[in-house]
Chain A
Amino acid sequence: DTGVSQDPRHKITKRGQNVTFRCDPISEHNRLYWYRQTLGQGPEFLTYFQNEAQLEKSRLLSDRFSAERPKGSFSTLEIQRTEQGDSAMYLCASSLAGSTSGVRYYNEQFFGPGTRLTVL
């Protein structure tokens, strides 16, 4: 257990429905990332937050996808009008970034267990 939790662990939905996933990062981590992973591939970056600000989004993230981190703690990823191609494992990761007394943190990411989405 890395300390990052995701809910739900599995989601089965019908094409066209909306789904929302939640990620709770390690509490002191200021960065939060969302990835998508399909079979036989490594994680593909979707978006990331520093505190509550969404700083970068991948071109993979179509306008059907939206992510929020309203208070700089947990985050949600919503997919509207799901398509079969959205079926994948959605991974959340968190990390601590910054510096203290001139010491910079070179931040490995701590991953949650993922939410497996199946779109029928």
Chain B
Amino acid sequence: AQSVAQPEDQVNVAEGNPLTVKCTYSVSGNPYLFWYVQYPNRGLQFLLKYITGDNLVKGSYGFEAEFNKSQTSFHLKKPSALVSDSALYFCAVRDGSGGSYIPTFGRGTSLIVHP
């Protein structure tokens, strides 16, 4: 079984400050980890993924995420938040060891960036 936890329903940050959106996962095999962003009335857009290699992954719009195997975490980060980053963020995991190709999504974290 696989699961994702996004412990914060909402994250508030001031524009220009660094932001972190937290994600922890559980998977029996090798984790493939993803972050998606959803703007109002739009579908999910892919931000970045971790498959293997460097623990720090860089993605779209200046976002990055750090894979931490010992803490089973994959937190999303950005050094300087923009008001336009305000959206709903979803973390997802799937087992990369074979079997099902179905990812499991977290419940989402609403990011609000204040001017």
Name which residue of chain A comes closest to B102, CB basis.
A45
Answer whether residue A108 sits at the interface, using C-beta atoms and an 8 A cutoff.
Answer: yes
- Given the known inter-chain contacts A41-B107, A56-B100, please indicate yes or no for A106 contacting B49, CB distance below 8 A: yes
Name which residue of chain B comes closest to A107, CB basis.
B101
| Number of B residues, CB within 8 Å of A | 24
A48 touches B41 (CB 8 A): no
Interface residues of B in 32-63 (CB under 8 A from A): 32, 34, 36, 41-46, 49, 51
Digitize B1-27: 1 where CB-to-A-CB distance is under 8 Å, 0 elsewhere: 000100000000000000000000000
Answer whether residue A25 sits at the interface, using C-beta atoms and an 8 A cutoff.
Answer: no
A44 to B90, CA, bound (A): 12
A9 to B90, CA, bound (A): 22
A111 to B43, CA, bound (A): 6
Answer whether residue B74 sits at the interface, using C-beta atoms and an 8 A cutoff.
Answer: no
| Secondary structure call for the A interface | loop
- Given the known inter-chain contacts A111-B44, A113-B42, please indicate yes or no for A43 contacting B49, CB distance below 8 A: no
A48 touches B102 (CB 8 A): yes
A111 touches B36 (CB 8 A): yes
CB distance from B83 to the nearest CB of A (A): 22
Digitize A28-60: 1 where CB-to-B-CB distance is under 8 Å, 0 elsewhere: 000101000000111111001000000010000
B43 touches A42 (CB 8 A): no
From A40, A56, A111, B102 is in contact (CB under 8 Å) with A56
CB distance from B72 to the nearest CB of A (A): 18
- Given the known inter-chain contacts A111-B43, A113-B41, A113-B42, please indicate yes or no for A48 contacting B34, CB distance below 8 A: no
CB distance from B5 to the nearest CB of A (A): 11
CB distance from A54 to the nearest CB of B (A): 13
Residues of B within 8 A of A (CB): 4, 32, 34, 36, 41-46, 49, 51, 90, 92, 96, 100-108
Q: Sort A-B residue pairs by CB-CB distance and give the 6 closest, nearest first.
A: A42-B105, A111-B43, A111-B44, A106-B51, A108-B46, A113-B43
Given A43-B90, A56-B102, A111-B43, 15 other A-B contacts at CB below 8 A? A2-B43, A41-B108, A42-B92, A42-B105, A43-B44, A44-B105, A45-B102, A45-B104, A48-B101, A56-B100, A97-B101, A106-B51, A108-B46, A114-B42, A114-B43
